[in-house]
Structure 1
Amino acid sequence: MHPEQQYLELLRRLIAGGDLRLDRTGVGTRALFGYEMRFDLARGFPVFTTKRVYWKTAFKEMLWMLSGGRNIRELLQQNVRIWTDWPLRRYREETSDNLTQTEFEQRIVADADFAARWGDLGPVYGAQWRHWKTSDGGEIDQVAEVLRLLKENPSSRRIIWDAWNVAELDQMALPPCHKQYQFFVSSDGRLSGACIQRSVDSLLGLPFNIANLALVTHLLAEQSGYRVGEIVWYGLDVHLYSNHLEQARTQLERQPRIFPSLKIRPGVTSLFDYRIEDIDLVDYDPHPPISAEVAV
């Protein structure tokens, strides 16, 4: 069975029997509680093929998170617009200025002071991964600690980073969805990665989440001297928005194609020095993209 069939089966289950639920966005979802997918990275890089996944956008987001980023200016400078909706909504609500998204993004890029005020997302993902605040005023770099453990104590059961900082949730533009990552080194020197995701937009977000989990597992393996094993993804509240049903049905009509392979430029000496130019997907041949609106 093609590994992507796990994802297509999820879409089928959501359409056929997902629990009809109201949600904070007002759009409504079909949802289920608890779903697992596994991908052997030796069988190819798991970027889905039944629709085009804009993998460079996904990877730029992951590299931004690994840098500790929390402002959309750093993303917009790379033409990544996936986080704009939340600060734009806040700006409109607090100022009554109905800037278009394009106008807002242009001001964020052009004006550093405006970006500092309105482009900041609060202590989201990367801020927690790299700068978790301690009670004595210090910070913990969880990603650096994961790297240390992979090199010095690979059998540890504490090779984890977490973004669910209860004390700071109310400061975040959006509480973390993919909230915890854990890594495992097997006795034959293979590194596997897992992600626990509390909330899953199955059509738009999940393909990015799977690709980014695979990417960070590859990068950690590269930096710590292991081969890659598998990735394991656990979704909890897994949902399909009601305005994504037709798009999901379209995707289900398509047959998966062979997964591409990931190519990482050798010689990058730090996990935090990677740039998008250092990463490529070879032989990615997906079906055409499927457009859908994000629920904010």
Structure 2
Amino acid sequence: MLKRADSARHYEWQYLDLMREIWESGDERVDRTGVGTRSVFGAQLRFDLSDGRMPLLTTKRVYWKTATREFLWFLTGDTNIRELCAQGVEIWTDWPLDRYRKATGEDISRNDFSARIVADKAFAREWGDLGPVYGKQWVDWPVYEPAGEGLFRQRPQGVNQVADLVHSLRTNPGSRRHIVEGWNVAELDAMALPPCHKTYQFHVSGNRLNGLLYQRSCDVALGLPFNLWGAALFLRLLAQQCDLEAGELVWMGGDTHLYLNHAELVEAQLAREPEGDPRLAIVRRPDTIFGYRIEDFEVSGYAPQGHLSAPVAV
């Protein structure tokens, strides 16, 4: 599989090489969605994040503000799509929409469903919740304590893994436990979608913060561009909060796949060559990692090639 990036090559060639490998020699499989994929198992990509560099794809437009809004939403611990829909972010809408259509038989459009989620708080409460997905596990991992007579009760506030991570990076940088985990086995069945980008680990080397993301399942065409941005953003926020410099991001994929109905996108993207050197500036440092706003981020040097789209497999 792919190893450490050649510094003389554009960073994006790693992504395109992986896409080509999957498309040309991946194992063709029947998947959960019924669409079908070509898949490889165990991939690795590496990106230098020093001097503001980010793994932002240039061979198609990646909507980094949308990805950033999603990541900031994760940090709130919210699990309802209402706040995302209010910002025009529809990344998670298809799962509640599918559940609503199946339960009611109403063939409502996604736009109308999202508008109703935003306008009607009670409707959003009933139909917009995703279950205890990413953010809930990151900042409020449930903890139970004895309540007597063999019973247990849940504590009002669970474990805030992100806050604990910031504290451990500041006070014990040499620790091997700088981890944020989303895979809560006891709650997987309650989630709209079990976490794909499930495990983050960080490593301090001198004054440099390095990060690793392990992803159990990866849609390379649609999901991975956002996942790379989110992981790099997480590292950059932690580095700023902990007075460290951003180092290297390592991405590792388990079932790493392309959907068979993404052929048009894949072939168009593989015909392009990456170019440019986008950088991210974080223009404000809030008191905590939970205080960032979308206005705090500026990207420069990003001139992507034309937009490429493909259907999402739910």
Structure 2 counterpart of 1:16: 24
Q: TM-score, normalised by structure 1?
A: 0.98
1:166 is the counterpart of 2:185: yes
Q: 2:93 aligns with which of 84, 95, 98?
A: 84
Structure 2 counterpart of 1:248: 266
CA contact (8 A) 2:50 2:245 kept: no
Q: Which runs of 5+ in 1 are unaligned?
A: none
- SS in structure 1 at match of 2:186: helix
Structure 1 counterpart of 2:3: none
Letter in 2 for 1:130: V
- Alpha-carbon distance between aligned partners in 2 of 1:266 and 1:112, rounded to the nearest angstrom: 32
Give the deviation of 1:69 after TM superposition: 1.7
- SS in structure 2 at match of 1:127: helix
- Alpha-carbon distance between aligned partners in 2 of 1:268 and 1:69, rounded to the nearest angstrom: 20
Q: How does 1:255-266 map to 2 (within 5 A)?
A: 255-266=273-284
Give the deviation of 1:234 after TM superposition: 0.3
Q: 1:100 aligns with which of 91, 96, 109?
A: 109
Structure 1 counterpart of 2:124: 115
- Alpha-carbon distance between aligned partners in 2 of 1:54 and 1:100, rounded to the nearest angstrom: 23
Structure 2 counterpart of 1:238: 256
* Identical-pair percentage: 54
- Alpha-carbon distance between aligned partners in 1 of 2:104 and 2:263, rounded to the nearest angstrom: 35
Give the deviation of 1:214 after TM superposition: 0.6
Q: TM-score, normalised by structure 2?
A: 0.92
Give the deviation of 1:259 after TM superposition: 2.4
- Alpha-carbon distance between aligned partners in 1 of 2:25 and 2:310, rounded to the nearest angstrom: 21
Q: 2:166 aligns with which of 136, 147, 157?
A: 147
- Alpha-carbon distance between aligned partners in 2 of 1:252 and 1:77, rounded to the nearest angstrom: 35
Letter in 2 for 1:256: P
Give the deviation of 1:218 after TM superposition: 0.4
Q: 2:47 aligns with which of 39, 43, 48?
A: 39
Structure 2 counterpart of 1:222: 240
Q: 2:83 aligns with which of 74, 77, 83?
A: 74
CA contact (8 A) 1:70 1:124 kept: yes
- Alpha-carbon distance between aligned partners in 1 of 2:296 and 2:196, rounded to the nearest angstrom: 27
Structure 2 counterpart of 1:28: 36
- SS in structure 1 at match of 2:40: strand
- Alpha-carbon distance between aligned partners in 2 of 1:156 and 1:267, rounded to the nearest angstrom: 25
- Alpha-carbon distance between aligned partners in 1 of 2:286 and 2:160, rounded to the nearest angstrom: 20
- SS in structure 2 at match of 1:116: helix
Displaced runs of 4 or more, over 4 A = none
Aligned length: 295
CA contact (8 A) 1:45 1:262 kept: yes
- SS in structure 1 at match of 2:34: coil
Letter in 1 for 2:28: L
Give the deviation of 1:246 after TM superposition: 2.1
Q: 1:206 aligns with which of 212, 220, 224?
A: 224
- SS in structure 2 at match of 1:218: helix
- Alpha-carbon distance between aligned partners in 1 of 2:307 and 2:287, rounded to the nearest angstrom: 35
Structure 2 counterpart of 1:182: 201
